[in-house]
Amino acid sequence: MARSWLDIDPSSDFSLANIPFGIIDTPEDVTRHVGVAIGSYVLDLKELAHRIGANNLLPFGAHSTPGVFETRTLNAFAKLGRSVHRHVRERIQDLLSENTSCPHLLRDNAELREKVLWPQHRVRMFLPMDIGDYTDFYAGYHHAYAVGVMFRGPANALQPNYTHLPVGYHGRASSIVVSGTPVRRPVGQILLDPKAEPKQPTVAPSRKLDIELELGCFITKSNDLGHPVSIDEAEKHVFGYVLLNDWSARDIQTWEYVPLGPFNGKNFTTTISPWVVLADALEPFKTKGIENPTPLQDYLKEKREETVFDIQLEVDLTTPDGNTTTITKTNGKNLMWSFPQMIAHHTLGGCPLRKGDLLGSGTISGPVPEESGSLLELSEGGKRVIQLNGGEGRTFLKDGDTVTFRGFCVGKEGERVGFGECTGRVEGA
């Protein structure tokens, strides 16, 4: 990977090897439109395409959609398909490269640089996609096992179907928000004394507000009703990836989830990071996931062994007093099921996915307790206090707490591919 003529910190998530896409507005253009992150800057693609011509960014055949960078979401760009995404990403990399093939277009054009390059702190970020449907899977084996042990014991921690298919449920797309949006503590039915008989719930604010550290996948290509996506074609349906916090109210969830699964305990808020890291940017970091000892059905068999991503994941908790503690570190490779397998299973019965749909991986936890992706695991269901810097402790979240996810892949020096931050602050019910 060539160096950029921009001054980019080697530790930046947004190296020249990345080029993630998002929806922005700027002090000079308050209409939402497309930008990309590069180092500590944002490149305004709407303004750039207007100044140099969309044909200098889009491949031949895609010129009929010159306004694709002027839209309020990335859906129109996602719809163009992975070959176009690849071309545009490579074209931007060339324009930003120290040895660019077209130095006059941007590198040597000081006036244009002033118009199209913005410091990130001067740009506002918005939800990157118009999300029609959201499906949350349960592919984090260590999380599924640890939580299963809490409720059913080691012998029955996992249901018999867990290693046969990617377990999932349909979430609520309308409550997905972009990083930085406050998270209101939900109110719901909870059991104050689970051991009391008869069981009588109380309507109250959740006392066990939790996080779930996940990876989100956006769909770029639709399939028709009644036509499943084969495992070999599933990769073509992937647009890109974000960090995802599927906030969870454990006390509401515990009372309601039998027999049909999570509902109000999950649907109040899901936070995603604002920058969509394209599938091609993560391709060099593919690795093996957790080995599945169960013989798979043919529709779930992938040809390659490297099916998940070596993404270093971290979670910070900042108290209202401003003390920050990194409460967990884990890795994206701790998944038993890949996103292509999730797509193939999701569509097996003929369910149509649509561009902009979001799939969640499920909570990503490592094999040891300190690598857990939820407070439920870190606190052992509320039995153990998590010690924080500044002397405070937590079992679950308090009002005023801020949770920040980070995720990044470490390549060669100066080629880090990361997601930026996925953050949310808890507000009172």
Contact (Cβ atoms closer than 8 angstroms) between residue 120 and residue 41: yes
Phi and psi of 428, rounded to 5°? Answer: -65, 155
Domain of 152, CATH number, reads 3.90.850.10
Are 193 and 45 found together in one domain?
no
Q: Is 291 annotated as a binding residue?
A: no
Structural domain contains residue 5? no
Structural domain contains residue 331? yes
Are 138 and 247 found together in one domain?
yes
Q: Is 152 annotated as a binding residue?
A: yes
Rounded CA-CA distance 57/91 in Å is: 6
Residue 143 annotated among the catalytic residues of the structure: yes
What was the pLDDT predicted at 63? 61
Rounded CA-CA distance 346/262 in Å is: 18
For every residue of 181-194, DSSP letters joined together read --EEPPEEEE-S-T
**Kind of pairing, strands 277-278 and 358-360?**
unpaired
What was the pLDDT predicted at 94? 97
For every residue of 8-55, DSSP letters joined together read --TT-SB-TTT--EEEEEETTEEEEEEEEEETTEEEEHHHHHHHH-GG
Structural domain contains residue 325? yes
Amino acid at residue number 124: R
Q: How far is CA 171 from CA 181, 357, 359, 401, in A?
A: 19, 11, 9, 24
Rounded CA-CA distance 141/162 in Å is: 9
What the block records as the tokens of 224 is 């028709």
Q: Is the dihedral of CA 392, 394, 400, 406 positive or negative?
A: positive
Domain end: 126, 145, 171, which one? 126
Rounded CA-CA distance 134/140 in Å is: 18
What was the pLDDT predicted at 60? 76
Tokens 């998944």 identify what position?
Answer: 335
Among 272, 307, 78, 286, which residue's Cα sits nearest to residue 171?
Answer: 272
What was the pLDDT predicted at 64? 65
Q: Is 266 annotated as a binding residue?
A: yes
Rounded CA-CA distance 154/277 in Å is: 37
Q: Is 270 annotated as a binding residue?
A: yes
Rounded CA-CA distance 114/42 in Å is: 12
Residues in the chain, total: 429
What was the pLDDT predicted at 166? 98
Which is the catalytic residue, given 33, 85, 142, 143?
Answer: 143
Are 171 and 316 found together in one domain?
yes
Are 185 and 308 found together in one domain?
yes
Structural domain contains residue 364? yes
Are 169 and 228 found together in one domain?
yes
Are 306 and 370 found together in one domain?
yes
Q: Is 363 annotated as a binding residue?
A: yes
Q: Is 395 annotated as a binding residue?
A: no
Contact (Cβ atoms closer than 8 angstroms) between residue 246 and residue 212: yes
Rounded CA-CA distance 212/192 in Å is: 23
Structural domain contains residue 8? no
* Cβ-based neighbour number of residue 10 at 10 Å: 10
Are 98 and 185 found together in one domain?
no
What was the pLDDT predicted at 260? 87
Structural domain contains residue 268? yes
Rounded CA-CA distance 358/220 in Å is: 10
Domain end: 100, 126, 152, which one? 126
Rounded CA-CA distance 300/340 in Å is: 8
What was the pLDDT predicted at 18? 98
Are 107 and 187 found together in one domain?
no
Are 151 and 277 found together in one domain?
yes
Structural domain contains residue 12? no
Q: How far is CA 47 from CA 14, 29, 32, 372, in A?
A: 20, 9, 12, 43
Domain with 207, as residue range(s), is: 134-427
Are 59 and 143 found together in one domain?
no
Domain of 88, CATH number, reads 2.30.30.230
User: Cα torsion at 244, 245, 246, 248 (round to 10°)?
Assistant: 170
Instruction: Please report, in tens digits, the pLDDT of each residue of the chain (429 residues total).
Output: 779 999 999 999 999 999 999 999 999 999 999 999 999 999 999 999 999 998 899 997 766 677 999 999 999 999 999 999 999 999 999 999 999 999 999 999 999 999 999 999 999 999 999 999 999 999 999 999 999 999 889 998 999 999 999 999 999 999 999 999 999 999 999 999 988 999 999 999 999 999 999 999 999 999 999 999 999 999 999 999 999 999 999 999 999 998 889 999 999 999 999 999 999 999 999 999 999 999 999 999 999 999 999 999 999 999 999 999 999 999 999 999 999 999 999 999 999 999 999 999 999 999 999 999 999 999 999 999 999 999 999 999 999 999 999 999 998 888 999 999 999 999 999
Are 231 and 319 found together in one domain?
yes
Among 169, 166, 168, 147, which residue's Cα sits nearest to residue 158?
Answer: 147
Domain end: 102, 126, 150, which one? 126
Contact (Cβ atoms closer than 8 angstroms) between residue 337 and residue 143: no
Contact (Cβ atoms closer than 8 angstroms) between residue 289 and residue 335: yes
Q: Is 162 annotated as a binding residue?
A: no
Are 203 and 260 found together in one domain?
yes
* Cβ-based neighbour number of residue 217 at 10 Å: 27
Structural domain contains residue 243? yes
Q: Model's pTM, two decimal places? A: 0.96
Q: How far is CA 196 from CA 192, 200, 230, 249, 281, in A?
A: 9, 8, 50, 21, 53
What was the pLDDT predicted at 293? 94
What was the pLDDT predicted at 274? 98
**Kind of pairing, strands 238-245 and 277-278?**
antiparallel
What the block records as the tokens of 420 is 């930026």
Domain count for the chain, please give it: 2
Q: Is 98 annotated as a binding residue?
A: no
Q: Is 138 annotated as a binding residue?
A: yes
